[in-house]
Amino acid sequence: MPNMQERLDAAVDKAEVDTGLLHNVVHGSITTEVTTEGGKVPSVAKVLNDMRVLMEADEAILYLIANGDSTTIVHTKNGDVPSAAKIIHDTKTAMDASAQIYHDIANGDVNTVVHTENGDVPSAAKIIHDTQTALDADAQIFHDIANGDADTVVHTENGDVPSVAKAIQDTRNTIQSGTNDLVEQAQTAATTATEQATQSKSAALRAIEAETASKQALKDAQTWVDGTDEEVAALGGRHSAREWVELAEETTKGSFPTTVSGVATANQTILPLPEALSAIDQVLMVSVENLSLMPDTYTLSNDGKSVVLQYPLTANERWSVKYLTDFQSMGTALDAVLYEDM
């Protein structure tokens, strides 16, 4: 074990070595690195010089970012950075392009379509023009239906639609056909009575009675055609043929088209109607969630009381059916009443 003197001498020697190392750290040049037991230690001058070099590099980068022109891109350890002038220039360029797009949309004519990053956008004038064109087409269709003559059939996207005048005329023709049959029956009865009177010359009284009956039959037939309600009531009826026509015309005013709608249940394919139709052509439009179905995707049921869809609906889908009243069926019903009254 070393004595006190040996230990003191060792401590002095170590202190002298450490003092030399510290001296080199404090007074070394800007390139000095002192080797110690804990590794290499740069001199104070080297530390300050390295910091100055880094600060000068950062200062140069900041200077280029702040003072570079609109094309300057500064290379840094973390990637390329555009100068302030380039950022402002690129932003202005993008804003100018957007402003031009907004200007073209706002001020373009009815043919303008503006190309954007997200697709083509029509100008405000084109949107208004296209909407007005569609409205004008629909207005013309409604005008033709309301004001067309007795031969007018209007072509629509969902099929042909008769004018109001044609629908009434078709109903009148159906009823008139039944009236003509009544007149022909009366004339036949009169002719038969006259023939019987001619053949019964030996019975003058019976001939006179037959002739009287014939004249009364003609008078009654005329009453059935255009007599008053009181005159027809005396014969056991309610209205003359002329009155039935006028009632039919009054009944059909404003009665078409008719719309029925509802909310579907899961897998529903049957859309019920409040009245029976005679032909699928009376169905003007079938819509689901405001989208019109193609005519080949639905049919009319055999009894005419519902529309049958080719594809089922999902729960809570809203549906609607627009159709015309069955005037042919109305005419047939009126004929039945006329014959029954007689």
**Edge-to-edge order in the sheet of strand 298-300:** 270-272, 306-309, 298-300
On whether the CB atoms of residues 214 and 193 are closer than 8 A, the answer is: yes
**Residue 271: predicted pLDDT:** 95
pTM flag (> 0.95): no
**Residue 120: predicted pLDDT:** 92
| DSSP single-letter state for residue 276 | -
**Residue 312: predicted pLDDT:** 95
Burial 140-149 (b: 16+ CB within 10 A, else e): eeeebbeebe
What residues of the chain score a pLDDT lower than 50? 245, 248-249, 251-255, 327-342
What is the three-class DSSP state of 342?
A: coil
Q: Can you count the helices (H) and strands (E) in the chain?
A: 9, 15
**How confident is the model over 66-106, as pLDDT tens digits?**
998 989 998 888 899 898 898 998 888 888 888 888 888 89
CA 226/CA 228 separation, integer angstroms: 7
**Residue 249: predicted pLDDT:** 47
**Residue 99: predicted pLDDT:** 85
Q: How many CB atoms lie within 10 A of CB 215?
A: 13
**How confident is the model over 304-325, as pLDDT tens digits?**
999 999 999 999 999 999 988 7
Helix axis angle for 241-252 and 327-341, nearest 10°, is 150
CA 16/CA 97 separation, integer angstroms: 75
